[in-house]
Amino acid sequence: MSTSEKVDGRSHRWHDHRITRRRELLDCTLAAIRRHGHDIGMDDIAAANGVSKTVLYKHFADKKGLADAAMARYVETALVPGIQDAISDDLDEYHLTRAVISAYVTTVAADPDIYIYVHSNNGVGGNQDITTAAEELIADLLGTVIADRFRERQFSTAGTMPIAFAMIGAVRLASHWWIFDRRMTPDELIDYLSMMVWGGISGIARAGGSAAEFASKPHSLMPEG
């Protein structure tokens, strides 16, 4: 084995070690936020990890960097798996829609301190790359499901991705409002979001997925009699 191969092997092992260690630090950080609340400081986070702040800053440039990484880890370990678990071939379209919305809302509602910590440390608002990557991942999941269900009914699938992104955007922003307002219960939020999203999906379905067909129909706010 050449010297360069030995060096490359050590470099790969060191890289893998850093990735593993970073994930361990993030998982411990999320647990500490859940335990101590969103006002937790870097000293307490370092103590929970059993390291100094200097060691913590070797992995995360600053508090914002830690918040961004915590958000990404939270999406990876909690939010996306929750939505994946909610997607089932056994559910009809309405109950599937409600299940996905419920998975998002209940996941966020179960961890309000993590969401507030990330937001207050400029993670959600300040780093759009993290939020965009999460939305793209979830929208891809939904887009695939929507396209499959539309194809089964010979509907147009041209608008699949805009529909998926619109759903995720609406649910995310409504959940963000709810975290800081709480004027309704999580179940009530799920009810209203389900009504809004399903109203859109059922309207699209009545037009066979065709934007032109939808535009050609009369539209009224009056309930159908």
pLDDT digits (tens, 9 = 90+) for 11-40: 666 567 788 899 999 999 999 999 999 999
Average pLDDT on 180-192 reads 95
Same domain for 83 and 44: no
The reply to whether 64 falls in a domain is no
Same domain for 55 and 106: no
Same domain for 207 and 148: yes
Q: What's residue 44's pLDDT?
A: 94
Residue-wise pLDDT tens digits, 126-180: 455 556 677 788 888 889 999 999 999 999 999 999 999 999 999 989 999 999 9
Q: CB within 8 A of 116, min separation 6: which ones? A: 38, 179, 180
The reply to whether 67 falls in a domain is no
Q: What is the dihedral of CA 206, 210, 215, 220, to 10 degrees?
A: 20
**Does position 224 have pLDDT exceeding 80, yes or no?**
no
Residue-wise pLDDT tens digits, 88-116: 888 999 999 999 999 999 999 999 999 88
Same domain for 27 and 97: no
**With bands split at pLDDT 50, 70 and 90, how would you rate the model's confidence at 120?**
confident
The reply to whether 225 falls in a domain is no
Task: List Cα–Cα distances, 11 to 48, 59, 157, 216, in angstroms.
Answer: 29, 17, 46, 62
Q: Which CATH number do you get for residue 206?
A: 1.10.357.10
The reply to whether 65 falls in a domain is no
**Does position 223 have pLDDT exceeding 80, yes or no?**
no
Are 205 and 152 a contacting pair, CB within 8 Å?
A: no
Domain residues for 45? 1-59
The reply to whether 69 falls in a domain is no
Same domain for 83 and 17: no
Could you give the number of structural domains in the chain? 2
**Does position 75 have pLDDT exceeding 90, yes or no?**
no
